[in-house]
Structure 1
Amino acid sequence: MKNKQTYLFRASIALVLFMILGYTVKFYPENLAVFDESIQTTVRGSLPSLATSFFSTVTVLGNTLTFVFVLVFVVALLYFVKKWKTEGIFLGGTGVTAGLLIVSVKYLYGRQRPSIEHLVSAAGFSFPSGHSMGSMMIYGFMLIIAHQRIKSKGLRVLVETLIVLLIALIGLSRIYVGVHYPTDVLGGFILGFACLNLIFPFYDQKRFEARFQGKQK
């Protein structure tokens, strides 16, 4: 395990970047227009039907109901079946934290959604992307568990790759379906990454203590 300060330093850097981006979104959104519009145009293209069907499906994996279902299932699996109680508790706590932060931070910035055509329905404010932040925190925490628990290197790399790809595609899907600016997605990823780095050292310490106590019995 790396030094706790390393993770807290990463979290601090990510939080500073998020605050800079958020400040720009709140007070100088026009400075982001060229960046956002150029990426939107590139990602969406002419909205080919195959891509529309694909991204409309992928984006569902970042919906609130999907997160709730995944969390309940995986937490129950970890806690009751695998008996990995620390992992189950912290994953559940990470999910709850993500939900609370998404709602509160969106209201803080109050950014309206893009005026381009929306391919799926979306309510509420735009910055940061809740799908992106939630996927970074929830699926990202699952990646951490997979990295620590899967013993087969080949399987571990496969699972980690799939999770990273899922997180990236969920973020990309929000741009494609038109309900988020690219900077919303970027902000969601940055804030989610910061939260993971804040949570991880406490989780890893608790996991170490649980394993040590188990050996002492």
Structure 2
Amino acid sequence: MHISPVAHPPPPTRSPVAGRAALSLALVSLLLLTLVAGEWGPLIALDEGIARTTHRWAVEDPGTTHFFRILTDWVWDPLTLRILCAVVIVWLVWRQSAWFTAWWLLVTVAIGTLVQQGLKAAVGRERPVWPDPVDSAHYAAFPSGHAMTATVICGLLFWLLRQYGAPAGVLRTAATVAVVSVIGVGLTRIWLGVHWFTDVVGGWLLGAMLVTAAIAVHNRRRSVAAEAVEPAAEPDRSSGSRP
């Protein structure tokens, strides 16, 4: 596949949509975080009910469980996605000389990791415990690192494909892969009994918040840079007279 990017894409209009979306997602994330940290009864009951049901399915269907372990441990593992992201960063620098975008991508993914680990330590939520576990995981439960990492990296890479003029067919395929990956990795974590349902939802919300905030920052920077290089308007001499 060959993508012929626009060397200097037109600057985006100063639309507040991305910034407003990031703020809305931040507020919803904060609400969920508060309910989880406060162990709100109805939410805990929902988590436990879903966990019991999916764990029973996982024990009764070892073939699907094994397949989901392959997906979550290899295909959608955070390390795999970060390696993919690193390849894109190298491409941005080597083939496009897009240093700002490369740094922007690297810093956004790093911030996502820091936020994820910081919240895990702060909330300290225990993972589900089973007498007959089908998988295991480390660290605290909230938010799901798999779900958040997949949301951040898939969201950012899809946005970059659009910015670099990928054909419509490529965009449709990438969108399908991104959606299946983000939803799929969350469902595997619940099925395997290593996360509560709200851990995954929290990862999705926080990841989407970070993606929209990063896009708002990137758009703002491009707008400012475009304005800085605009040539000064030529003075109008049409109405002047010769001295």
TM range (shorter): 0.7 to 0.9
- Classify 1:73/1:39 alpha carbon distance in 2 versus 1 (closer, same or farther; 3 Å): same
Following the alignment from structure 1 to structure 2, what is the Cα–Cα distance between the partners of residues 171 and 2?
34
Equivalent position of 1:72 in the other structure: 86
Q: How does 1:1-217 map to 2 (within 5 A)?
A: 1=12, 3-47=14-58, 48-60=61-73, 61-116=75-130, 117-207=132-222
Bigger drift between 206-215 and 31-40 goes to 206-215
Secondary structure at the residue paired with 1:111? coil
What is the one-letter code of the residue matched to 1:180?
A: H
What TM-score comes out, normalization by structure 2 length?
Answer: 0.78
Secondary structure at the residue paired with 1:115? coil
Secondary structure at the residue paired with 1:146? helix
Bigger drift between 93-102 and 82-91 goes to 82-91
Q: Which structure 1 residue ranges, 5 or more long, are not aligned?
A: none
Question: 8 Å contact 1:56–1:119 — kept in the other structure?
Answer: no
RMSD of aligned residue pairs (Cα, Å): 2.5
CA positional deviation for 1:187? 0.6
Secondary structure at the residue paired with 1:180? coil
Question: 8 Å contact 1:8–1:197 — kept in the other structure?
Answer: yes
What TM-score comes out, normalization by structure 1 length?
Answer: 0.87
- Classify 1:213/1:9 alpha carbon distance in 2 versus 1 (closer, same or farther; 3 Å): closer
What is the one-letter code of the residue matched to 1:103?
A: Q
Q: How many residues align?
A: 216
Following the alignment from structure 2 to structure 1, what is the Cα–Cα distance between the partners of residues 169 and 106?
27
What is the one-letter code of the residue matched to 1:30?
A: G
Question: 8 Å contact 1:62–1:134 — kept in the other structure?
Answer: no
What is the one-letter code of the residue matched to 1:147?
A: R
- Classify 1:71/1:28 alpha carbon distance in 2 versus 1 (closer, same or farther; 3 Å): same
What is the one-letter code of the residue matched to 1:54?
A: F
CA positional deviation for 1:62? 4.1
CA positional deviation for 1:108? 1.3
Question: 8 Å contact 1:24–1:31 — kept in the other structure?
Answer: no
Q: Which structure 2 residue ranges, 5 or more long, are not aligned?
A: 1-11, 232-243
CA positional deviation for 1:123? 0.9
Question: 8 Å contact 2:76–2:146 — kept in the other structure?
Answer: yes
* Identity among equivalent pairs (%): 25
Question: 8 Å contact 2:14–2:223 — kept in the other structure?
Answer: no
Look at both structures and tell me which one has the larger radius of gyration over its CA atoms.
2
Secondary structure at the residue paired with 1:128? coil
CA positional deviation for 1:2? 6.0
What is the one-letter code of the residue matched to 2:110?
A: V
CA positional deviation for 1:79? 1.8
- Classify 1:45/1:64 alpha carbon distance in 2 versus 1 (closer, same or farther; 3 Å): same
- Classify 1:58/1:156 alpha carbon distance in 2 versus 1 (closer, same or farther; 3 Å): same
